[in-house]
Amino acid sequence: MGAKDMRGRTVWLVGLSGSGKTTISSALGEILEKRNQRVSILDGDVLRKGLCSNLGFSEAERAENIRRIAHVADLLADTGATVLIATISPLQVHRDIARAILPDQLQVFVKAPLSLCEARDPKGLYRKARAGDLPEFTGIGAPFEEPIDPDLICNTDTENLQSCVQKILLCLEEDMGSSPKNGSRSLR
């Protein structure tokens, strides 16, 4: 088997804070690991503490954050791991950067209304943003553009975690036949 055949899939989860990216990626990762796949999870929150700790939340710094993460994902995918990436990626320009570096990614829009994300507020960040402590928080003081061409949408307001994970698994299975990197975006 050549190195190209060994390349792992990349799944990029995009959505508001509190939409469910981290929850879905860890549940999906567990299932894939049980199937003896190697999995790497690149979570924006985690990477911002290390690789991207010098970056803030301006549009340009968010773009640089995405660029770095995409390149790391590319290297990991080359080792054969399935790479699950969870970042807000608020603007279309950010998703375009990610797509240019990882053309074969499965882009999943993890979708929930802002009001629900704010009600969930799993990390208390919306409360802080409303109090003015996080001025560039996506959805409050900074914009979120809905992805224009996601490969898949997980509506986490109406679909439970298990359905969201199953949907992504099905997409990955259906796409197994197509050749990564030079493959067409057969899921669109």
Ligand X SMILES: Nc1ncnc2c1ncn2[C@@H]1O[C@H](COP(=O)(O)OP(=O)(O)O)[C@@H](O)[C@H]1O
Q: Which residues bind Mg ion (CB under 5 A)?
A: 21-22
Can you tell me the distance from the alpha carbon of 92 to that of 133, in angstroms, rounded to the nearest whole number? 26
Does position 62 interact with ligand X (CB under 6 A)? The reply is no
Q: Which of 17, 25, 89, 178 is catalytic?
A: 89
Q: Which does 51 bind (CB under 5 to 8 A by kind): Mg ion, ligand X, none?
A: none
In which element (H, E) is residue 109 found? strand 106-111
Residue 17 designated active-site = no
Q: Quick check: 98 and 105 in contact, CB under 8 A?
A: yes
Per-position DSSP letters for 65-76, written without gaps between them: HHHHHHHHHHHH
Does position 17 interact with ligand X (CB under 6 A)? The reply is yes
Q: Which does 111 bind (CB under 5 to 8 A by kind): ligand X, Mg ion, none?
A: none
The minimum distance between CB 98 and Mg ion, in angstroms, equals 16
Binding footprint of ligand X, residue count (CB under 6 A): 18
Can you tell me the distance from the alpha carbon of 154 to that of 157, in angstroms, rounded to the nearest whole number? 9
Does position 120 interact with ligand X (CB under 6 A)? The reply is yes
Per-position DSSP letters for 119-141, written without gaps between them: HH-TTSHHHHHHTTS-TT-BTTT
Can you tell me the distance from the alpha carbon of 97 to that of 152, in angstroms, rounded to the nearest whole number? 18
Q: Which of 51, 55, 93, 161 binds ligand X (CB under 6 A)?
A: 161
Does position 69 interact with ligand X (CB under 6 A)? The reply is no
Catalytic residues, by residue number, are 89
Q: Contact positions toward ligand X, by CB under 6 A?
A: 15, 17-24, 86, 110, 120, 122, 156, 159-161, 164
